[in-house]
Amino acid sequence: MWEEDPRCQQAIYQLLVWTVVVGVVGGFIFSLWSGDWQPYRVLLEFLGVILAALCIYAAGIWTVGHLARKFWNALKRLGHKHDNT
């Protein structure tokens, strides 16, 4: 599938990064030109909320993986204790 092609994934990532960069720089220039900073604050707040949500998601995934590994290791140790007796 084209979604699994690393070149496609890299292109989508670059598009996302360039969209954010152009939006932040363009928003700054527009706000500087118009003198109204409210739209730029809204844009930065939106980006902050997205970044915070991604960080919370990553922390949740890391915690679940870490706890699963701890649980698996505890089960393996418990199994080894029963094998020796």
Q: Which tens digit of pLDDT belongs to each residue from 14-73? A: 999 999 999 999 999 999 999 999 999 999 999 999 999 999 999 999 999 999 999 999
Single pTM value for the model = 0.67
CA pair distance 10, 25, nearest whole angstrom: 22
User: Cα–chain-centroid distance for residue 66?
Assistant: 18
10 Å CB burial of residue 76 (0-12, 13-18, 19+) is exposed
The DSSP annotation for 22-48 comes to: HHHHHHHHHHHHHS--HHHHHHHHHHH
- What is the structure's pLDDT at 63? 97
| 80 pLDDT tier (thresholds 50, 70, 90) | confident
